[in-house]
Structure 1
Amino acid sequence: MQYLNFNETKQHGTSNFPFEFYHVDSVHPRYIMNYHWHVEYEIIRVLEGELYMTLDEKGFSAAAGDIIFIHSGTLHSGTPSDCVYECLVFDLNIFMKHNPGCTPYIQRIIDRSALIYHHFSPKYEEIHRIIWNVFDAMSNKLSGYELITFGELYHFFGTVFSRHLYLEDVPQTRRDYKRIMQLKNVLDFIDNNYALPITLEQLSAAASMSPKYFCRFFYQMTHRTPIDYLNYQRIEHACYELATSENSVTDVAFNCGFNDLSYFIKTFKRYKGKTPGKYHA
């Protein structure tokens, strides 16, 4: 099984085929999509249940059959409810390589002068058919799936422009931009230092705020307290390590920033409903 990588600075796919596909269900280590961001674009298709998404500071519910498009640099999270979903993460720049005729269109997406709709229900029949073909190709990986993936995504972008399924030159207030960048700085700090002791003062400093105002700001943005988010992120890393290595529970605890094994086990059970030993088994 392919696991979502916790370090979103990694390259997805290869330089010639920069696409990464993930199938996510309730047993996946990252079933709940914690707040994160990456420079690549992402498309999600919901197969079963419901997925509550937050893009930057805007939330909405996606149901089975829905498609979600996430622009580069967008802070996003997803909370599933009896949900199975799939993700395709890719580098949009590949679509300008050796295709100068497509460059003006793709450049508009990159520049955000054309902001593709973030939510497509099944009523967008052509979009639905195209994206389903892409995901089926990436899932089955039959001979020629790379050609189908490229071809159908060109088809998708062409349909977006021909049907005007995008917003133009959407303004972003300076205040909104500042808040998003402050949160990104905090998330980056956690991602780079989760294995080390982290204090509330360090987190608030990453956002250039006092601890008092930072706690309120962080909760408004993520609906979690900073310490709750930090612990959850550490447990997510622990799940990944338990699922992909032979390390002992003790080693995993210390690798993920927990200096007290009993506290790690208690915290793990609170978030995952089982002990790390049972999860590992």
Structure 2
Amino acid sequence: MDKLLLKEDRIHGDASFPLDSYHMDIPSGSIVLDCHWHEEMEFLLMTSGKAQFRIDTDYYEVNEGECIFVNSGELHAGFQINDSPCSFKALVFSPSLLYSSSFDLTRISYIDPIMKNSLIVKRHIKSDTGWQSQLLDRLLKLMVYMQDKPPAYELMVKSELFGIFALLSANCISSLNVAERSQDHFRLEKLKTALKYIQDNHSKKISTVDIAACVDMSEGHFCRVFKQYVKKTPVEYLNHYRITRAAKLLEETGMKVLEAAMEVGFDNLSYFTGLFKRHMGMTPSRYRSTRGKAPE
């Protein structure tokens, strides 16, 4: 799977079964997972190598055979360790998959408290304790069901998912002290607003002043906060987002390179070509000829 597809605007599964799984192979020197967020919950299971993941303000070094849990609405990103290649499987699903048609006890007591972080569950799951090993076994079985799709696999998937949340709930760490993370929460909400502003306006001429203004922060302070969490400057993130969108246009439409560049907000073809090659490892023309449609 192309890692450009694992973005917050991607539809995972469908309305009747809002869950999907993906396998990602990350070559040496690449970003494991761009900083993003989505309403769905997610499990990331390392299948080879190791990587560092950030969820909101916390960092986790995840080794082969381990997984991390990403809650609904949380900013997260992944980074290689020593530029080493790695691979992982991602399970992305809507919490609604665990709801019944009525407001039931399991939702009130377990699913909603986890989703709202009023019940803190362990994020980094290893195989060194009994219940965590059971959780990993369930997650692996679920992934196999999603891959093979045997008869009634949807029931099997939901059964394993309920089992996973039963293990998380029964072994929760603590309830959240709201005051502990109020400042981080404030900054993260501002950052999510800024990311959405960039994505909604990437085709226009926007500056760091414009982005900072949309979250009522000074340019200098905003740039420091943005770099702290995203590991890119606002301009670097904007350019990266524009390049990923241009790559999708070259893959899926008959646009010429210049048309794709202008569509995502670039007005200088040479600058666009240089950035595209730096991010994608090849020129836009080469990318389109190997992965996209011929221009109409």
> Do these two structures clear the TM 0.5 threshold for a shared fold by scoring above it?
yes
2:116 corresponds to which of 111, 120, 123: 111
Query: Which stretch has the larger CA shift, 94-103 or 117-126?
Result: 94-103
C-alpha change, 1:7 and 1:257, in structure 2 (3 Å) is farther
Question: Counterpart of 2:212 in 1: which secondary structure?
Answer: helix
Alignment match, 1:169: 176
C-alpha change, 1:238 and 1:52, in structure 2 (3 Å) is farther
Alignment match, 1:122: 127
C-alpha change, 1:49 and 1:255, in structure 2 (3 Å) is farther
Q: Deviations over 1:68-113 (max 9, x none)?
A: 1001111111124411112111111221214734222222212322
Cα deviation, residue 19, structure 1: 0.6
Cα deviation, residue 233, structure 1: 1.5
Question: Counterpart of 2:73 in 1: which secondary structure?
Answer: coil
CA distance in 2, matches of 1:156, 1:6: 23
**Contact preservation (8 Å) 2:53, 2:62:** yes
CA distance in 2, matches of 1:277, 1:113: 50
1:237 partnered with 2:248: no
Q: How does 1:65-214 map to 2 (within 5 A)?
A: 65-80=65-80, 81-98=84-101, 100-103=104-107, 104-123=109-128, 124-162=132-170, 164-171=171-178, 172-214=180-222
Alignment match, 1:263: 271
CA distance in 2, matches of 1:109, 1:279: 42
Q: Deviations over 1:18-54 (max 9, x none)?
A: 1122222237xx9642111111111111111222211
**Contact preservation (8 Å) 2:4, 2:244:** no
Question: Counterpart of 1:173 in 2: which secondary structure?
Answer: helix
C-alpha change, 1:255 and 1:228, in structure 2 (3 Å) is same
Query: Which stretch has the larger CA shift, 106-115 or 177-186?
Result: 106-115
Cα deviation, residue 12, structure 1: 2.7
CA distance in 1, matches of 2:7, 2:26: 21
**Contact preservation (8 Å) 1:4, 1:22:** no
Query: Which stretch has the larger CA shift, 249-258 or 97-106?
Result: 97-106
CA distance in 1, matches of 2:41, 2:101: 20
Cα deviation, residue 275, structure 1: 1.6
**RMSD after superposition:** 2.3
**Contact preservation (8 Å) 2:52, 2:60:** yes
Aligned residues: 278
Alignment match, 1:61: 61
Question: Counterpart of 2:156 in 1: which secondary structure?
Answer: helix
Alignment match, 2:44: 44
Tell me, which stretches of 5 or more residues in structure 2 are unaligned?
291-296
Q: Which amino acid aligns with 1:145?
A: Y
CA distance in 2, matches of 1:245, 1:68: 36
Q: Deviations over 1:119-142 (max 9, x none)?
A: 112322111101111112222333
Q: Deviations over 1:151-197 (max 9, x none)?
A: 100111112233x1443224343321211111111101011111222
Alignment match, 2:294: none
